[in-house]
Amino acid sequence: ERRNPAQPEFHQAATEVLDTLAPVLAARPEYAEPGLVERLCEPERQIIFRVPWQDDRGEVQVNRGFRVEFNSALGPFKGGLRFHPSVNLGVVKFLGFEQVFKNALTGLGIGGGKGGSDFDPRGRSDAEVMRFCQSFMTELQRHIGEHTDVPAGDIGVGGREIGYLFGQYRRITNRWDAGVLTGKGQGWGGSAMRTEATGYGSVLFAAEMLRLRGEELQGQAAVVSGSGNVAIYTIEKLTRSGAHPMTCSDSEGCVVDEKGIDLELLRQIKEVERARVSEYAKRRGASARYLPGGRVWDVPCDIAFPSATQNELHADDALALVRNGVKAVSEGANMPTTPEAVRILQDAGVAFGPGKAANAGGVAVSALEMRQNASRDAWTATRVEEELAVIMRDIHQVAHDTAERYGLPGDYVAGANIAGFERVADAMLAQGLI
């Protein structure tokens, strides 16, 4: 804390990982090498820059841009860009730190990084978003590249923003470098299924956890928080798997729909109109109610998918879920469950899939997009979806088996942290003191 003051999210993420590494540091003396853990906690490079742009009224706005290149022992830095007013260096570092372990778990040869800005896209016109993205990329372009650092989307950065960013990159560099960003449109270098990948992957991870308990998704009542990219495709995959997703939310409130969320209506409101979930309840009719300031965790369910943002599921929410008999929780978002809430769920015997493992499907398909770009190929949606299913099964297996190997059966948090750590640490040790 002395070294990194005022970065509570980064401290939370690092503490959570380091707390679970004791058994592996004890069992494998090579990992206790002085400086290894310290190097893991220190980003290789951190870039902070000014992003000036003009709004529709002609007034100058100044935002702050970040890119934290955390660890490239396993491959080029890889991780999303977040545009949200809450973004600061501590938030980007927490996300970058998590990304290092997540990307290691995928086994696809990618390092970890993260970036973004305190720019708030809400209420901004397309033209304003474009001018902001162009200014942001004008600086970022000198730091990224296919073999260096490959950003993607996150909160507030979807297909529209990736398009504007890619356009500006191409204009400045005079290069059509598909491999410099992932999450591109399918007509111009993007991968099929990238949009769906994080949500689908989170549901596949839940299915694996349930399978080990002799259960399947069919017929399970589900609650989902959020209404962005991850939440929407979590709801789609749940519906396709015969489960019943009944909720969605945004930062102003939540919707409970007794008939199950109407995916077409939700997509129209969020993806086309960029409106609030309150609008969903207005149009859906009697089955749906909107609870201003409400929380989805009070709704009785079998499985839960926190898919909005960090620290959105607190101890009292975990107690409510346990009281209502939840069987599994799969984190679509990054660090949505507070440490106390994780303990409550695990102590109650709930299968808990941490984001590092459960939401790795997005970055995994980004790595598949990089492969397609490198070979100038475009795979079918069926092929990508099949590969995603195999990858999520493997991630579940390695997290599960690693936890067992260290005498912590069922502890996916420890399993994911240790398995990710072993892969990164082995590469760092082999590559010497850098």
Interface residues with ligand NDP (CB under 6 A) are 84, 86, 153-156, 198, 226-231, 250-252, 307-309, 312, 332-334, 359, 362
Measured from the CB atom, is 138 or 373 closer to ligand NDP? 373
Please provide the DSSP assignment of 180-247 as one string: G-SS--GGGTPPTTHHHHHHHHHHHHHHHHHHTTT--STT-EEEE---SHHHHHHHHHHHHTT-EE-E
Q: How far is the CB of 255 from ligand NDP (least distance, A)?
A: 11
Enter the tokens of residue 122: 């809400």
Bridge partner list, 69: 45, 113
Nearer Cβ to ligand NDP, position 191 or 309? 309
Name the minimum Å distance from CB 29 to ligand NDP.
34
Tokens (6 digits) for 291: 């609870």
Query: Which one of 93, 114, 270, 327 is the catalytic residue?
Result: 114
| CB nearer to ligand NDP: pick between 308 and 368 | 308
Given the complex with ligand NDP, which of 230 and 255 has the nearer CB atom?
230
* 263 Rama sector, left if φ>0, alpha if ψ -120 to 50, beta otherwise: alpha
Q: Taking the complex as a whole, how short is the minimal distance between the CB of residue 309 and ligand NDP, in angstroms?
A: 4
Q: Are 258 and 246 in contact (CB under 8 A)?
A: yes
Is 114 an annotated catalytic residue?
Answer: yes
Backbone angle region of 294, left / alpha / beta, with phi > 0 → left and psi within -120 to 50 → alpha: beta
Tokens representing 410? 């069922």
What gap in Å lies between CA 78 and CA 66, rounded to an integer?
A: 14
In whole angstroms, give the CA distance from residue 187 to residue 179: 15
- Whichever of 36 and 255 has its CB closer to ligand NDP, that residue is 255
Q: Which residue is nearest to ligand NDP (CB)?
A: 228
CB of 267 to ligand NDP, least distance (A): 12
Minimum distance of ligand NDP from residue 79's CB (angstroms): 9
Q: How far is the CB of 38 from ligand NDP (least distance, A)?
A: 26
DSSP state of 57: T
Which of 349, 283, 351, 294 is closest to 317 using CA atoms? 294
User: In this complex, which beta carbon is closest to ligand NDP, that of residue 123 or of residue 187?
Assistant: 123
Active site residues: 114
